[in-house]
């Protein structure tokens, strides 16, 4: 089986399936198709499938022209029908792994995808889980389900974990040129998964097990979450000491060793950094251990939206206004600049807290035309002089590149800048973190 799969990889006759067509799955499917494989993308969302089959990309990092060329060439097709898996040789599972309201892992999407694979598992198949999850998921959840067919891992089929490392909106690093970690359940699984992905991805990083690969991803994002939590607390400390935190960071960053530059902000957003460390924390709780750094960082980072609201309140008080009844304009609701993703965005908590305190909240974000919060639909307002002048306070939450900081400062009455977009401007109506 192993030799046959190697031959299919070399000849590009390997039939590929990607389950989940979001920010991870669609770029992966596109990259594999560009490498010469015939790829089938599978998703339960009929709208995504229809759009992709028409060559229309809904992911900013994938150009519609690229998608359309691959679809027209017959290298890329999309379906909601999981029975296609019986014809597939290599399957990558790229489904969401959110947190439940209780902050424990929700791996229901992984389980659902695994059961679909199990229903169509056949000898020789390679299955790779890419969804971020806690260490042990591949061996403890996916493996038993697949071996329930009577097929044996490393002999009849092959199973590995390879963490996604997508950074939406990053112009320098994409699927192809970001080093890819892969760890198999057996050495043969690692070898085959590495050979398969190396056709499309420039640098492979094989590790000794699926457990190591799973932990690698969690370390990456826990490292970021903890350091962002640290610098967010430093920002609060600097305000209490009447020190400009941005100047401190710029000065500290000149040290050529021993320090990495992290920036404070209104809180953590996106699917990875706020979520992934909690998967590790939850796993350790099952082992009667408290991950104190992770818990403390989460506490600091999750408090930042409320810190921002407090700062808005303070700014209004200085101009003899009350938050109750004031018009607050939020600039940017996506979790980071130049993307449309609002998952875990700190803007959501900021807006809800402002509304709770009876402020009138408007927002602008060209990437996010509408937003539903607690059953209330908000729509992005066109950015204009009139809109800026009408607001009692403008809060820069997301640093989209289309924002003209100088113009915003000229037009606004007061500004709370959580991203240091106004760094080059000295004006008493600007209040930074």
Residue ranges and CATH numbers for the domains of the chain are 2-208 (3.40.50.720), 223-432 (3.40.50.720)
Provide the pLDDT for residue 19: 98
Provide the pLDDT for residue 128: 98
CA distance to 193, 311, 346, 398, per residue, from 326 (Å): 57, 14, 20, 21
Dist CA 342 CA 138 (whole Å): 28
Provide the pLDDT for residue 169: 84
Q: Choose among 311, 182, 187: nearest CA to 245.
A: 311
Mean pLDDT of residues grouped by 10 in the chain (433 residues)? 88 96 95 97 96 94 94 96 97 92 87 97 97 95 97 97 91 94 98 97 97 96 95 96 96 94 93 86 92 93 96 93 96 95 94 97 97 92 97 97 97 97 95 93
Q: Are 268 and 228 spatial neighbours (Cβ–Cβ below 8 Å)?
A: yes
For 375-426, the pLDDT digits (tens) are: 899 999 999 999 999 999 999 999 999 999 999 999 999 999 999 999 999 9
Dist CA 52 CA 26 (whole Å): 9
Provide the pLDDT for residue 319: 85
Q: Considering 94, 189, 238, 272, which one is annotated as catalytic?
A: 272
Residue 32: how many CB atoms within 10 A of its CB? 28
Question: In what order do the strands lie in the sheet containing 158-161?
Answer: 76-79, 38-42, 15-19, 90-93, 126-129, 158-161, 180-184, 204-206
Structure tokens at 335: 């979790």
Provide the pLDDT for residue 218: 95
Provide the pLDDT for residue 104: 83
Q: Are 110 and 141 spatial neighbours (Cβ–Cβ below 8 Å)?
A: yes
Dist CA 417 CA 5 (whole Å): 54
Q: Are 26 and 305 spatial neighbours (Cβ–Cβ below 8 Å)?
A: no
Provide the pLDDT for residue 375: 86
Provide the pLDDT for residue 168: 85
Provide the pLDDT for residue 11: 93
For 303-358, the pLDDT digits (tens) are: 999 999 999 999 999 888 999 999 999 999 999 999 999 999 999 999 999 999 99
Give strand pairing partners of 395.
330, 416
- Whether 94 is catalytic: no
């Amino acid at each position: 089986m192993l030799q046959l799969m190697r031959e299919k990889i070399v000849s590009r006759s390997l039939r590929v399936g990607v389950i989940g067509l979001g920010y991870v799955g669609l770029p992966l499917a596109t990259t594999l198709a560009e490498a010469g494989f015939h790829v089938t993308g599978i998703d339960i969302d009929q709208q995504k499938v229809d759009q992709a089959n028409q060559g229309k990309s809904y992911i900013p990092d994938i150009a519609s022209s690229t998608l359309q060329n691959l679809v027209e060439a017959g290298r890329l097709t999309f379906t909601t029908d999981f029975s296609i898996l019986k014809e597939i040789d290599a399957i990558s599972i790229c489904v969401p792994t959110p947190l439940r309201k209780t902050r424990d892992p929700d791996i229901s999407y992984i389980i659902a995808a695994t059961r679909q694979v199990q229903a169509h598992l056949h000898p020789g198949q390679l299955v790779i889980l890419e969804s971020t999850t806690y260490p042990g998921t591949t061996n403890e959840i996916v493996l038993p389900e697949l071996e329930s067919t009577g097929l044996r891992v490393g002999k009849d089929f092959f199973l590995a974990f390879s963490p996604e490392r997508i950074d939406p909106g990053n112009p320098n690093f994409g699927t192809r040129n970001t080093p890819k970690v892969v760890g198999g359940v057996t050495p043969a699984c690692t070898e085959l998964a590495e050979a398969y992905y190396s056709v499309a991805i420039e640098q492979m990083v094989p590790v000794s097990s699926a457990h190591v690969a799973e932990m690698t991803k969690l370390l990456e994002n826990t490292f970021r979450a903890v350091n962002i939590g640290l610098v967010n607390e430093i920002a609060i400390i600097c305000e209490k000491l009447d020190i400009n935190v941005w100047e401190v960071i710029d000065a500290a960053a000149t040290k050529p060793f021993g320090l990495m530059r992290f920036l404070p902000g209104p809180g953590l957003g996106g699917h990875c950094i706020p979520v992934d460390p909690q998967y590790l924390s939850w796993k350790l709780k099952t082992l009667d251990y408290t991950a104190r750094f992770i818990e403390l960082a989460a506490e600091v980072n999750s408090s930042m939206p409320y810190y921002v609201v407090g700062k808005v309140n303070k700014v209004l008080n200085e101009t003899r206004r009350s938050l109750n009844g004031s018009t607050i304009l939020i600039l940017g609701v996506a979790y980071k600049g130049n993307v449309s993703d609002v998952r875990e965005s700190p803007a959501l908590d900021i807006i809800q807290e402002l509304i709770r305190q009876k402020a009138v909240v408007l927002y602008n974000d060209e990437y996010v035309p509408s937003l539903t919060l607690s059953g209330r639909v908000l729509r992005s307002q066109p950015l204009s002089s009139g809109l800026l002048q009408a607001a009692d306070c403008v809060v820069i939450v997301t640093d989209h590149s289309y924002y003209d900081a100088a113009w915003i400062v000229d037009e606004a009455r007061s500004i709370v800048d959580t991203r240091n977009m106004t760094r080059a401007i000295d004006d008493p109506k600007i209040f930074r973190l």
